[in-house]
Amino acid sequence: MKQFFKFVFASMLGIFLSIVLFIIFISIITAGLINSSNSKVEIKDNSILHINLNYPILERANPNPLEDLEIGPIKKEKTLGLNDILKSIRYAKEDDQIKGIYLDASMVQAGMATVEEIRDELLNFKKSGKFVIAYSEVYTQKSYYLASAASKVYLNPVGYLELKGLSSNTMFFKGALNKLEIEPQVIKVGTFKSAVEPFILDKMSDANKLQMSSILNSIFEDFTGKIAIERKLAKDSVVSIANLLKVRTAEDALKYKLVDALKYKDEVLDELKSKTGIDKKKNLNTVSLSDYANNVKPENTSSNRIAVIYANGEINSGEGDQNTIGSEGISRAIRKARLDDKVKAIVLRVNSPGGSSLASDVIWRETVLAKKEKPFIVSMGDYAASGGYYISCAADSIFAEPNTITGSIGVFAILPNLKPFLNNKLGITFDGVKTGEFADFGQVTRPLTSAEKELLQQEVNKIYFDFTKRVAEGRKISQSYVDSIGQGRVWTGKQAIDLGLVDKIGHIEDAIKSAAKKAKIEDYRIMSYPEKKEGLLSILDKSGDKVKAYFLEKELGESYKYYKKLNETLHLKGVQALMPYSLNFE
């Protein structure tokens, strides 16, 4: 009996200590949240805004109240979303305490359309008469494109500037699947719907090469043209520099006038001190972009509202999160904005390669209802393709960047036949009974019958018909014309203008102004949807998934994106309206 009570008291003591430790932990976190939440920093006169974009730039930053805390090994690691970056640069333009921007353009982890928006905001900042100085030891093509907007571009004397043109590579799995005896059973509509090619081919089809060449050339033309304008060079010269890889050393970059001078960082800092009237022996007055964002005042407190609904990531059924579009979550956000009398117009910000055709149609329905009630404008980010275009096509007008990837109006389904793999590689066999011919339709343990293939093809054809019909109705063009420019083909925003898939080239700010004009309001404030969970709620919401993703990303580094893509592919369900690839223009 004495031994029994000993164990009972020990267990009770353990539980009590655990509760105490948990309360202490929560108290520390809460205190940190109170101290760090929206904490403003003191900005001195003659300060410089330091912009370092060395983190993945999302449409909106993921809510993470711990990012401001420094507790033991937990170090401050705050990131900003595109919306906060643009707002901060815009605010700094009118801030008398900010004399200029120091752009630390070493690495930019964002799509080309995102970079385009930040670059144009920097160009707009310069119109105030303030300077933008860019410096780096190494410029990737993307970071140099951003830096080319600066008043002065400096490079480390032994650094490197990359300008070599654009390319895109696709990984093909056919050989590996053949070795494993896995048969990918593909049903699709669209000559250019190449999302299935990696599973059935060992190289790009001619149609896919044609569309990829068209996309790359369109983006490259815009890319080199804008560099040429800001560097006061002939466009042909920039094209030649890239095509012939003329820049191989820092001296080459200076010779071809891609940079203004070769300097070490201390020399750049001395120049910044000189520009702001700071003695060289004293520290430069700088404020980081993340700190400065806390000082940005609300743009407006009007009762009139414009809802900006962020649809970011692949499209699936369910709630979704900051990195995926859930049909339930986004539909609810659109519906909430539609039913709110204070919301006078809606802007749907789409940054998606597509996904589930069913989930896309659920969201499309809400966009149609919203358009009947109030102005409904779409702003496209890096991608608004396939399902991403599906949810955009009903808008009053569509804005895109010249290098937005859009279109991809096509549908596919893929069902693996694992029978040879399971039988021959693992020695696993299957047998069973069924009540009807199609009772086990969709099983991966046997090949599709000809009747099942026909049924699946009919379903894919119907979804493609509905897709093209939605586009035709939304864009007020014929369905046959949509089919002619559809077929799964991907276009840039610049090309989509000529095809009638997009109305205007412009940023999200242009889309918002257009929505306000259509709603006939001049005084308004922006409301963002879906609402982000704040404080401890953001920690507790799917905390297990977030922790797992965090450590995986830290461990895998650059390889994490391949793991993530493979994991997404393995979890595809139903017929897909998905873009065939992601593009990387480093």
DSSP string, 290-326: HHHHTTPPPS---S-EEEEEEEESEEESS-EETTEEE
* 66/146 same-domain check: yes
Burial degree of 334 (CB within 10 A; 0-12, 13-18, 19+): buried
Last residue of a domain, one of 293, 328, 356: 293
Q: Which two tokens stand for residue 543?
A: 């905390």
pLDDT higher than 90, residue 241: yes
Q: Is 564 helix (H, G, I), strand (E, B) or coil?
A: helix
Tokens found for residue 555:
């461990």
Quick one: average pLDDT of 193-204? 89
Is 234 a residue whose pLDDT tops 80? yes
Task: Evaluate if residue 458 carries a pLDDT over 80.
Answer: yes
Same domain, 269 and 383: no
In this structure, the answer to whether residues 143 and 70 fall within a common structural domain is: yes
Cα distances from 304 to residues 58, 298, 340, 528, 529, in angstroms, run 27, 14, 11, 14, 16
**Does residue 59 or residue 30 have the better pLDDT?**
59
One domain, residues 344 and 279:
no
* 405 lies in some domain: yes
Q: What rounded mean pLDDT belongs to the chain?
A: 86
Predicted confidence band at 391 (pLDDT cuts at 50, 70, 90)?
very high
Q: Which residue has the higher pLDDT, 187 or 376?
A: 376
pLDDT band at 75; cut points 50, 70, 90:
very low
Q: Are residues 332 and 408 in the same domain?
A: yes
The band of 412, judged by pLDDT with boundaries at 50, 70 and 90, is confident
Q: Are 359 and 327 in contact (CB under 8 A)?
A: yes
Tell me what pLDDT residue 48 has. Answer: 95
Span 156-171, average pLDDT: 93
Taking only the tens place, the pLDDT of each residue in 292-349 is 998 887 766 788 999 999 999 999 999 998 889 999 999 999 999 999 999 999 999 9
DSSP string covering 144-191? HHHHTTSSEEEEEEEEEE------------HHHHHHHT-EEEEEEE-T
Q: Of 99, 130, 188, 193, which is the active-site residue?
A: 193
User: Model confidence over 254-270: pLDDT tens digits?
Assistant: 999 999 999 999 999 99
Tell me the residue type at 28: I
Residue 544 pLDDT greater than 50, yes or no: no
Do 387 and 434 share a domain, yes or no? yes
Judge whether 17 lies within some domain.
Answer: no
Active-site residue flag, 386: yes
Classify residue 22: in a domain, yes or no: no
State the CB neighbour count (10 A cutoff) for residue 169: 8
554 or 87, which is more confident? 87
Tell me which long-range contacts 23-28 makes (C-beta under 8 A, separation of at least 24): 26/536, 28/71
* Containing structural domain, residue 157: 47-163+247-293
Range name among 10-24, 182-196, 265-279 with the lowest pLDDT average = 10-24
In a domain, 392, yes or no: yes
pLDDT of residue 78: 63
Looking at the fold, whether 257 and 360 belong to one and the same domain comes out as no
| SS3 at position 141 | helix
When pLDDT is averaged across residues 408-416 and rounded to a whole number, the result is 90
Is 506 a member of any domain? yes
pLDDT value, residue 578: 58
pLDDT for 80: 87
Residue 453 lies in a domain: yes
H-type alpha helices, 37-111: 82-94
Contacts 24+ apart (CB under 8 A), 13-17: none
Segment 139-155 mean pLDDT = 96
Strands 314-316 and 324-326: parallel
In a 13 Å sphere around the CA of 217, the CA atoms on its Cβ side amount to 7
Count of domains observed in the chain: 2
Residue 521's domain is classified under what CATH number? 3.90.226.10
Residues 437 and 347 in one domain: yes
CA distance 570 to 314: 14
pLDDT of residue 34: 47
Question: Does residue 207 form part of some domain?
Answer: no
Contacts of 20 (CB under 8 A, 6+ apart): none
In the set 327, 357, 386, 538, the catalytic residue is: 386
pLDDT band at 107 (very low <50, low <70, confident <90, very high): confident
Question: Over 80: is that where the pLDDT of 532 sits?
Answer: no
CA-wise closest residue to 585 among 51, 244, 163: 163
Q: Are residues 489 and 528 in the same domain?
A: yes
The structure tokens 């993703």 sit at: 549
13: pLDDT strictly greater than 60: no
Check whether 55 has a pLDDT greater than 60.
yes
pLDDT of residue 308: 97
- What pLDDT does 267 receive? 96
Residues 6+ apart with CB under 8 A from 51: 89, 101, 102, 103, 104, 289
**pLDDT of the residue at 71:** 46
229-257: average pLDDT: 97
Phi/psi region, residue 394 (left: phi>0; alpha: psi -120 to 50; beta: rest), is alpha
pLDDT beyond 60 at 44: yes
Tell me, yes or no, whether 275 and 378 share the same domain. no
Once rounded to an integer, what is the mean pLDDT over residues 273-294?
Answer: 89
Cβ-count burial 133-158 (b if 16+ within 10 Å, e if not): bbbbebbbbbbbbbbbbbbbbbbbee
Residue 280: per-residue pLDDT:
83
How much of the chain is in helix, strand and coil states, percent to nearest 5?
Answer: 45, 20, 35
Separation between Cα atoms, residue 231 and residue 148, nearest integer Å = 7
Say yes or no: 257 and 354 in one domain: no
Task: Return all residues near 339 (Cβ < 8 A) that are at least 6 apart.
Answer: none
Residue 575, pLDDT above cutoff 70: no
Query: Percent of the chain beyond pLDDT 70?
Result: 81
Q: Is the pLDDT of residue 174 over 50?
A: yes
Is residue 16 included in any domain, yes or no? Answer: no
User: Residue 166 is encoded by which pair of tokens?
Assistant: 């654009």
Same domain, 51 and 148: yes
Mean pLDDT on 543-553: 49
State the pLDDT at residue 79: 75
Q: Largest Cα–Cα distance in the chain?
A: 93
Beta bridge partners of 534: none
Element (H, E) at 31: helix 2-36
- Which range has the worst mean pLDDT, 14-23, 86-95, 431-440? 14-23
**0.75 exceeded by the pTM?**
yes
Calculate mean pLDDT across residues 437-460.
Answer: 92
